[in-house]
Structure 1
């Protein structure tokens, strides 16, 4: 179904990008904007910037940018239409959709289809729990025995599936969902029959209570299911298989229900089971998630880090619980999070213990009994070592090994003091051990890198393993290769009787994109000034747009998409209009829109989002930094930018003429004189502009 344009516009007018993004990451105010660690790539220092005035976001690390609709598309990996439906639901906007053409249906994303059929299954399981005799007598009775209230069951959308082979299959097909889609969603199984026999098709989940697994935005992406009868041929717990929308290593059970509480409490409690999460949530401890029956993964830790840097692991007090806590400890530290651990009394898990002692006593127990990882590890080593000095040394080394996982050197230094206090040894000996382990890690990393290079094949050039920073500056060879084929205002070579291969007649757009050339920097600055300040008057009656376009009236830009932006400004100006940033930011990645619109929106966000802001502290000390908004500064910036563009064009022309002079040695003196005269003309232009810019004039 297609969403009418008036509804799309209503959705866009209703959304607040801060509210939308805050559902997925914790934003912090900095100046007039908000920042966070980017949810699209792993980073320790925030480079993700949100501008509430323009309603856009931009990551200066990975380059992701857009508005609220694009953010939902990127973070959920869904299409344009499904992103609009998500926002409409969030803001209570009713959608009356139009019929889609067959072409529209073909464009529908498989991921979106899976989310729709999984939502159908969730609703079906809920209705089965509450409206069927079997559901009420078995499933609902079980949840009541666990102490779950109606609001709790609604919050986690708990359900039940009948002990029948095909109840979901038949209902799904009746609703129009194909067998293929139900299978891809992990809801049914297809077993091949014997030779010549029909395939057997049946529900994956039968006779079980259902725990829907939600993603961060609240969409159902999978199910966990528990069987209630004794059947040695059936596993107690059964989970959905991996699908296009469900990757268990990247999901935390309860994250949707917990994310706001995690942000408010600034700590996340990590448990192992579904019922642990639900029972604690019902007891008022809502900042809790579970690893969904899998070993803790790096992706799950990074998901927590979107909302808080503080994690407390709550595991059972038995040997298995201790092992699980130790297994996840180093992984949490590697991601730079602050870690505490709590082991419950032997024989208890979070679900049973909160029912036993109540919510207040449970919170007190967490506060009093949770330990940082040093105390947690040290207490076990000291108990095991007793008077054995070798075991004691082994324990110190083990704790130091965990400290080396921490990326922040200042934290490592502070924690080394803590280890010395706990084990009653000198701080220097601890630091020496940490340094030894760090060197060992570096040597191992080097060996691994060399092994990978050898396996990549002899003679293949490998990336440098040095710590030197790389830049986007093109090498001289890169620039020369681009200058060889410049096409802007180049002379008609046929006038000189010189044949030039087609490969040298124009610059490939892809090559210009691949290498940032000197002129591309200036073209970028020019369109930045136009987009941000085009309507500003530099003097009465003369806008910046008018001034720039008049100075560049016979010049075409060489870099995409700056050439397109300049063309759009020219077309609008000829119509008596001046484009603004909003004209580009409003270009949407909608159904039927071209990739060009997406590229223009992305480029406009890049050009209108400054990475840094002047601190308010400068004004407190009466240090005033001139702003580009000031007319004198703006006019000078535009004037110097145009000079630089013309200077580079003159240099390009001279480079081409030099090449032509080299190739025209066998031509007549008149032809050579023509080339030389033109070369000297552009040389004079180059020298004059250099003088105006105050740069060194080449000889």
Structure 2
């Protein structure tokens, strides 16, 4: 069933680009726009621009662009209908469905949406199981032993999988879910050697629901509650189209607001660590769920903060084995601190042991930056062993070398010199060697990539191709940009709109760039209907290619600071100050490029006629055409003030 146009329109009226994007990345104001590091690709310097006035976003790094609806579609990987539902839920708008449904609409539910619905059903099923006699005596009693309150159980969608081979399978099939969808969602398994035998993946276990960033269930972790050495302590959902464990952190949905507000993220290992810390009043915490930290998970943290504090269990051997995670966090541009719990303790056990207030105090007092933490970890080993100390120094320098910011690197190098009692110059010298080696390795790695595997289109075009086709494309783009941004403006002292002038002057020109040709035809069509299409019209067209290109055209990468005029009294001319002159020059430049293209074609015909011996008459005809075009170019050059030797 599709969402009604009334609901879509209501969502579009209410949605705000700043609020929508702000749920996923921290925004900083610069001029009239807001900026952030792009959530769609890794970057250290913000190139992701949000325009509150235009209600659009644009990344100048990867090219992603759109409105709030498109942003939700891109970042959540969902369709238009689901994006509208998401935004309707955010703004408390009641969703109305269209009563009449076409057969196409009946089948429009994508596989991804079907999987999310099935996983939502499973979540509800596991949660309800806690109220059954078996769930109360086993699952609920386990959660109560850990001190989990009813509110926390509800907050994290904790549940219980009943003992039995097909409890969930039968309930889901009764609710209308196919075995195929349940298999793809990772909720059931096929017996090896007998594909017709299907059974529940999770049985007689406590269930921890894993949510995506917007709160939808996408996977489950299940803990065994009996002492069975033949069974693993935890089993987890497999990779599915909606669950990629390398991009997910447990508890991020519940933690994202606190992480952004407090500008710090606590990183722990397990599900129960996250839940216990919430019980202690600490909500800015996520877990890697027992897996090694990945680049995708680091990017997810960086969406909300640059500060991360890693919490380590009181196990020296385990800490040393997991130090690679700190280097990955540093490489990802995060500022790293660490806290180590007493021997034999973890965040879950220690928070229950000492209580909320003492636990929070411990985190504040024991937090150390990664340099002090790493050196302190090995201090006992190298205090009487110079060789081991040299090894530790090199390990610390390698970690510092992972930091992308040179100023931060320098600060940590100085601190390392003090803590290790080593001359700072030696630290910097070794650091420079490490950085140089890293750069060389990266260079040779890129050089080794086989050039033969590159597609032909990736090779640089010839100078002639750039001078004709590329420059013509840029001039076509410039005219379309003026049309979209200022088409409705009237020329100085005239009743004519800029769009009328531009379209009249280009009536006989045929644009060779397909996207600009499409936009131009659409513009002419709307104008014929007595309507001048503006930015808002093009932002709502269904053609995604056109919509993205329009956003590129109306989003300037740089803007002039207001301080030039208000503080320094320096007036800067803008193109909109004299659209008559701007439009005139744009048309001249565009025509000049078309004339240049026709001249190149005439030259090619002259050469071909001479090579093919087609006769002097034909050669002369092409030469006359060439010189006639040359005269036109000279006249245009005079108007533009171009001097050609």
Normalised TM-score (structure 1): 0.88
Decide which of 646, 664, 674 is 2:591's aligned counterpart: 646
Helix, strand or coil: the match of 1:223?
strand
**1:660 corresponds to which of 597, 605, 611:** 605
Where 1:212 maps in the other structure, the secondary structure is: strand
Q: Is the 8 A contact 1:325 1:341 kept in 2?
A: no
Map of 1:219 onto structure 2: 216
| Counterpart residue number, 1:622 | 569
Q: Cα offset for 1:405? A: 1.0
Q: 2:518 aligns with which of 564, 568, 587?
A: 564
Task: Determine helix, strand or coil for the equivalent of 1:368.
Answer: helix
SS at match of 2:160: strand
Q: Deviation string for 1:10-52 (max 9, x for gaps)?
A: 2222222222222221122222221111111111111111112
Other structure's SS at 2:186 match? coil
Q: Secondary structure of 1:344's match?
A: strand
Q: Which runs of 5+ in 2 are unaligned?
A: none
1:563-602 alignment, distance < 5 Å: 563-588=517-542, 597-602=543-548
Matches within 5 A, 1:302-341: 302-341=299-338
In structure 1, the gaps of 5 or more residues are 464-470, 484-515, 589-596
Say if 2:68 is the partner of 1:79. Answer: no
Give the corresponding residue for 2:278: 281
Q: Which residue of 2 aligns with 1:167?
A: 167
Tell me how far 1:248 sits from its aligned partner. 1.0
- Equivalent runs, 1:29-48 vs 2, <5 Å: 29-48=29-48
Contact in 2 for aligned 1:691/1:697 (Cα 8 Å)? no
Alpha carbons of structure 1 residues 448 and 629: separation in structure 2 relative to 1, 3 Å: closer
Q: Is the 8 A contact 1:315 1:325 kept in 2?
A: no
Q: Does 1:270 align with 2:271?
A: no
Please name the residue that 1:66 is paired with: 66
Shift of 1:663: 2.2
Determine if the alignment matches structure 1 residue 187 to structure 2 residue 132: no
Aligned with residue 470 of structure 2, among 506, 517, 520: 517
Tell me whether 437-446 or 598-607 shows the greater mean CA deviation: 437-446
SS in 2 for 1:629: helix
- From the superposition, tell whether residues 320 and 18 of structure 1 become closer, same or farther in structure 2 (CA, over 3 Å): farther
Tell me: CA distance 1:650–1:473, structure 2 relative to 1, closer, same or farther (3 Å): farther
Aligned to 1:418: 415
Contact kept, 8 Å, 1:205 with 1:225, in 2: the verdict is yes
Q: Assess, with a 3 A threshold, how the Cα gap between structure 1 residues 614 and 360 changes in structure 2: closer, same or farther.
A: farther
Aligned counterpart for 1:675 among listed residues 622, 625, 633: 622
Residues 467-489 of structure 1: CA deviation (Å, up to 9, x unaligned)? xxxx9985314347xx6xxxxxx
Count of residues in correspondence between the two structures: 638
The question of 1:139 aligning with 2:165 is answered no
Residue 615 of structure 1: SS of its match in structure 2?
A: coil
Q: Do the aligned partners of residues 690 and 535 (structure 1) sit closer, same or farther apart at CA in structure 2, a change above 3 Å counting?
A: same
Give yes or no for contact 2:280–2:359 (8 Å, CA) kept in 1: no
User: Within 2, Cα distance between the matches of 1:376 and 1:334?
Assistant: 17
- Counterparts in 2 of 1:185-584, with a 5 A limit? 185-193=185-193, 199-449=196-446, 452-453=448-449, 456=450, 460=452, 475-479=462-466, 517-539=470-492, 540-584=494-538
How far apart are residue 65 of structure 1 and its match? 0.8
Note the C-alpha offset of 1:555: 1.4
Structural RMSD (CA): 2.0
User: Matched residues in 2 for 1:549 and 1:472: separation?
Assistant: 36
* TM-score relative to the length of structure 2: 0.95
